[in-house]
Structure 1
Amino acid sequence: MTAGSTPTDSASTGELITQLAAQTSRLVRDEIRLAQKEFQESAKHAGIGAGLFSVAGVFAVFGVATLIAAAVAALALVLPVWAAALIVGAVLLAVGGVAALTGKRQVQEASPVPQRTVANVKDDIQEVKDATHDRT
């Protein structure tokens, strides 16, 4: 009987184990090939999605720039163009400054160490120590 044949009632334990090893090895190889193919397809879709997000970002930037130009043009109806551009620029800088300060505060509040996790681990260690001392 070969490693690729089907088990029968007359097969010895050794032959059955050999078949099991061969079939398990083939199954693992097949599953690895399937996982590689699925990963490649997933990576392809992720790459296309990332590219489309980039295109969307570029168009969003152009859209915002157009809206800013429209704001300048609208103000230019009642003010000189240079004054309209100056006002819109000042507003944009103010919004950017507020966003920067808010972001800075958020970064400062962020802790590089997960405080609750560290505290939980310390509590767990202390509990194990206490349980160990109680047994002795």
Structure 2
Amino acid sequence: MQPGNPNTRGGYDYEGRTVPGDGMPDRAFGSLLGEFFDQGKRLISAEITLAKTELSQEMTKFKAGGAMVGVGGVLLLIGGIAFMLFACAALALVMPFWAAALIVTVLFLAIGAGVAFAGIKRIKEFHAPTKTIQTLKEDGQWASRTFQSVKSQMHGHA
């Protein structure tokens, strides 16, 4: 009986005939480990790119919500000023001017509050990068399985 060729996965049967393997030469542990770390680096780079994309999309929503809150705040300020005009006019001259000031005040306060609440609602829609978190979990599982496979190959050939 001839010994199997150590550079292939095939070998010889008990009568000396060649037994085919998968045609791939056994790779050294260092080579497998190097490939594992190279793939890990590429994976981390892809995850960082995905996280940046997701966060960029969420920041766009956040900025729009912040702008709406700002506009709402300005309108509330104008409403407050109009309310002061109303109070002054109502106390000083009990005339129709105060009715106009009251209508303007209520209108500005209603519009300002509506815009501010819409902005707050938009800000609350800000989410963590869920796709990135999920793929990071999957990547961790892949890395663990791959490392265990490399480790078992090393122990199997020792």
What TM-score bracket applies, with the shorter chain setting the length? 0.3 to 0.5
Larger % of helix: which? 1
| Structure whose CA Rg is larger | 2
- How high is the TM-score relative to the length of structure 2? 0.40
